[in-house]
């Protein structure tokens, strides 16, 4: 996996256990492409920026997001832990919650 700088590897590799090996390989491509893609970060845009726009099995990358079995809740927990470790490694973390958003309305 030479797609990422060595400084980012520990942060990214902690998510590897969430995926099977084939899905993880596609997820890494999507992650790096999402970082590099200008504008909208669609799967097509990500594949284009990664030089994979002519990939015969492009549907495998779409399946990472809509069919692969992995826990978004577990992934978000790992991400939150990383953010807390970076921005509040010692001390109190104060979080605000805004409940004024109205769902589905104008």
Give domain limits for the chain: 9-87
Burial of 52 (0-12, 13-18, 19+ CB in 10 A): middle
Residue 16 pLDDT > 70, yes or no?
A: yes
Mean pLDDT, the chain, integer: 83
List, for residues 49-86, the tens digit of each pLDDT value: 999 988 888 888 888 888 777 888 898 899 988 888 88
- Angstrom CA distances, 24 to 17, 21, 42, 94, stand at 9, 5, 18, 33
Residue 8 pLDDT > 60, yes or no?
A: yes
The percent of residues in the chain predicted with pLDDT above 70, rounded, is 92
Q: What's the number of CA atoms in the CB half-sphere (13 Å) around residue 23? A: 16
In the numeric block, which tokens belong to residue 73? 């809740």
pTM (predicted TM-score) = 0.68
């Amino acid at each position: 996996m030479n797609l990422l700088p060595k400084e980012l590897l520990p942060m990214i590799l902690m998510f590897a256990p969430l995926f099977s090996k084939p899905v993880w390989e596609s997820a890494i491509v999507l992650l790096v492409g999402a970082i590099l893609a200008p504008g909208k970060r669609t799967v097509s845009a990500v594949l284009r920026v990664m030089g994979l726009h002519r990939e015969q099995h492009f549907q495998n990358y779409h399946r990472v997001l809509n069919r692969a079995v992995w826990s978004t809740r577990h992934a978000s927990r790992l991400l939150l832990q990383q953010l807390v470790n970076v921005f509040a490694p010692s001390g109190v973390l104060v979080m605000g919650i805004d409940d004024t958003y109205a769902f589905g309305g104008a």
